[in-house]
Amino acid sequence: MKKPKRKKPKFYKGQVVKTRCGTPVSEPYWIFLQITTMRFNPEFGGWNYGSDREQLSWHPFMESELRPLTAKEIGPCRYCQERGQ
């Protein structure tokens, strides 16, 4: 039986991703993709994809795990914390 091919993750503008590469981000490990095409960036060792919300540093394409965030990961809403609930 042939091994099923792994589906390549689709990136879209404004997608929130969780990175595995321990990059400092303002909110715990969310990265905001601001581009929609791959760029060749020799400074960072070749092909990279996506950028940080704060500083426009590049993150390796393969390091990003793309999926919708769960409520637990997002954490309690700030509004509730401020009201002390």
Q: How far apart (Å, rounded) are the C-alpha atoms in residues 23 and 78?
A: 23
pLDDT digits (tens, 9 = 90+) for 56-71: 444 443 344 444 455 5
Q: Is the pLDDT of residue 55 over 50?
A: no
- Quote the percentage of the chain above a pLDDT of 70: 5
Where residue 84 falls (left for φ over 0; alpha for ψ -120 to 50; beta otherwise) is left
Q: Provide the pLDDT for residue 3.
A: 74
Q: Provide the pLDDT for residue 2.
A: 75
Stronger pLDDT, 83 or 62, i.e. the higher one? 83
Largest CA distance in the chain: 58
